[in-house]
Structure formats: C-alpha cells, structure tokens
Structure 1
C-alpha cells in the first residue's frame, strides 16, 4: 500500500523506533478515523491530491480496518467532517483516546503505514483532507 511513498530516515519524535506505541490524541496529533473501504478511498484521494506526500496515515490490518489520518494537534475540531468519521482530540467525549503508531520499519502488526510522515508533511493537512471528501 505505501510502496509509492518514500521512506526517509526522518520521523517525528512520536514515531517509535520499533513495533508500535499508543499515543494520546490531542498531545502529539489529532486523529480522524474512518472505517474500511471509505477510509481507503479517502486515503487514495488524499495521496493523489498531495502527489503522494499526504502525511501520516495509519491503518489497521485486521478487524474493522480503521484508517487514522493524523492531523496537527488542536485542528480536528476546527473542521466539519462527514458523519462516518470519528475525531480523536484532547476533548474526545467520555474518555482519553489513544491511537496506535507503528515504527517506520520492521514488524508492526496489526498496524501499518498507508502514508508516512515526512519533513514536508509531518501531519495530514486538514484543508486538503476536507477536499479529499468532496
């Protein structure tokens, strides 16, 4: 899936060196979560719109196959998203929200990168993500 996206040696400090780590949404990033095929279609369109420098998108390899679009902290609540999306921020209702973040390399099952963070796109741009829904 992410074979078209260059893997550099750079990564934000919230990306683990190995395996995967749970990160608190709203601290390192906000996240927008979309299930299954809708998530994949959104990721494809976002990658197309950004010439395959979309920023960090994590997906689950099992279960509901959620796709997580990692946005700059504090930005998910500033936008209107389709009803089938879920926002994870520092103000997620009823509980703290943690998102699994895989390492760039090695075994990270059940998580993988659909698009990695880069120096030019350390986060998914919320405005461009909105365009991907159109």
Structure 2
C-alpha cells in the first residue's frame, strides 16, 4: 500500500506505537462516517497528498488528522472535532501510530505522511469539514 519514501521518526518500523500528542504532532479526531467523509474529501481535494490521516478500524472508527505540533490551537474547530496536543492542553493524550507497512490492525493509514505533506494542513482540513455555523467553535 505504501509508496512513501518519507518515514518520519515518530512512525514505527513495525506494528503500531503510542505517541504523545503535542510532541511530534497535534491530532484532530472525528468519529465514524463523518470522519471518513471528511478524510475522503480532504484526500480528493489534495490530489491524494493530504498528509497523515490514521483510521481506527474498531469501536467508534475514529479518524485522526495529524497536524504540525502547535497548529491545532490556532483554529476554531466545529463541534464533533476533538483536539489533542498543543499549548493550553492540560491532559496527556496518546495517539496510536501504525507503521507504514505490515500488520498494523486495528490502525491503518488512510493517508500517509509524505515529503511534501508531512502533516495535514489545518486550513485544508477546515475546508474539507465544510461550512461552519456561527455558533460552533
């Protein structure tokens, strides 16, 4: 599945590992079908080079959009988007990160990090989320 030459230091060589959000990346999490739709829209709008998006195949089927460290706090995210990491975050959150190849179940890359898209661009993610109502922040 992987065509990536880019293998960031925070991506394990095999299986999956937990990484603390806010160190190597901030994470934005969206649940289920909505997360899948946003991920598909983001990847389509970026011509397949959207940056790292991780899918959790069990439970609530979370989609994790990984942005540069500190970038998540700079935006107002709509309801249903959970932010992990960055300044002002009072809790430590671990995000499961799969390897780029091999058995990584229940996690897999919906979109891999690449040299030209090492992170998801927050503005592009906001666009993929669609219009935001004035009451959402």
Instruction: Indicate the TM-score class for this superposition, using the shorter chain for normalisation.
Output: over 0.9
State whether structure 2 residue 123 is matched by structure 1 residue 127.
Answer: yes
Q: Which residue of 1 aligns with 2:14?
A: 18
Aligned to 2:135: none
TM-score, structure 1 length as denominator? 0.92
Aligned length: 129
2:79 maps to 1:67: no
Give the gaps of 5 or more residues in structure 1. none
Tell me the distance in 2 between the aligned counterparts of 1:43 and 1:96: 25
SS across alignment from 1:109: coil
1:36 aligns to 2:32 (yes or no): yes
3-state secondary structure, aligned to 1:69: strand
Give 2:114's aligned residue: 118
- Alpha-carbon shift at residue 133 of structure 1 (Å): 1.2
Residue segments in structure 2 that go unaligned for 5+ positions in a row: 131-137
Distance 1:41 1:61 in 2: 15
**2:89 maps to what in 1?**
92
Question: Which of 58, 74, 79 is 2:75 aligned to?
Answer: 79
CA contact (8 A) 2:5 2:114 kept: no
Q: Which residue of 2 aligns with 1:48?
A: 44
Deviations 1:49-78 (A, max 9, x none): 100100000010110000000000001011
Q: Following TM superposition, by how much is the alpha carbon of 1:48 offset from its aligned partner in structure 2, in angstroms?
A: 1.1
